[in-house]
Each structure stands twice: as C-alpha cells, then as structure tokens.
A = this chain, B = another copy of it.
Amino acid sequence: MKFKKHVFICTNERPNGKECCGEERGMALVELFKKEIRERKLAVDIRAQRAGCIDVCANGPALVVYPEGVFYGKVEPADVAEIVESHLVNDIAVERLKLKV
C-alpha cells in the first residue's frame, strides 16, 4: 500500500446548478488538506487530492478516505484539521461527518 491514507476530494460541478460538491468548494478543501499534511510532515504516508464525482452529490462537499472507504459529507474548511488529526493520524473516523453509504 503506497499510502496509509489516501483522501479523494470531489471537485466536480454538475450542470444547471444541481446540488453538488463544486470545483471551488472542493478545491478549497484540497488545498487545506494538502497544507495540513505538508505542515505536519505526513506527506510520505498520507495523500489528499482532487477527484471527480464520488456519487454522493447531495452531501457535498464530499470526500472519501481509503483504504477504509469512509465517505464524509458537508465538509467545511473548519473540519479539515479534525479529520487529519482524528482519522488520518489516529485512525478514528469523525462520526459527525461520516455518511451512511
């Protein structure tokens, strides 16, 4: 396994303004995850990156953490540090943001 944790953040847009993660909202999260991972020197084992639609559009902004396959929804920039500290570092999923999928 190249990465202990690999985070895919949806940056997709849907046509006609349908509910969705959105490129702008998704990229804000991507940048925050990358910054947090870089500053904590976790980048060898943990990667966060953009991805296309992860099929939970109504819960955007959304992301998925592998290898566990835990999906998170309605993630705000203020949640990023908690997800990194709790889930990515200490392996404890953030229950309040976890999607039942």
A residues apposed to B, CB below 8 Å = 1-3, 6, 8, 30, 47, 49-56, 64, 66-69, 71, 101
Instruction: State the Cβ distance, A37 to closest chain B Cβ, in Å.
Output: 12
> Would A6 and B64 be within 8 Å (CB), given that A1-B69, A69-B1 are in contact?
yes
B67/A69 in contact, CB under 8 A: yes
Instruction: Give the top 10 A-B pairs by smallest Cβ distance, nearest first.
Output: A66-B66, A1-B69, A2-B101, A50-B52, A51-B51, A49-B52, A67-B67, A67-B69, A66-B67, A2-B71
A1's nearest neighbour on chain B, judged by CB, is B69
Please name all residues of chain B whose beta carbon is closer than 8 Å to the beta carbon of A3 when the two chains form the complex: 69
Please name all residues of chain B whose beta carbon is closer than 8 Å to the beta carbon of A47 when the two chains form the complex: 54-55
Please name all residues of chain B whose beta carbon is closer than 8 Å to the beta carbon of A54 when the two chains form the complex: 47, 49
A67/B68 in contact, CB under 8 A: yes
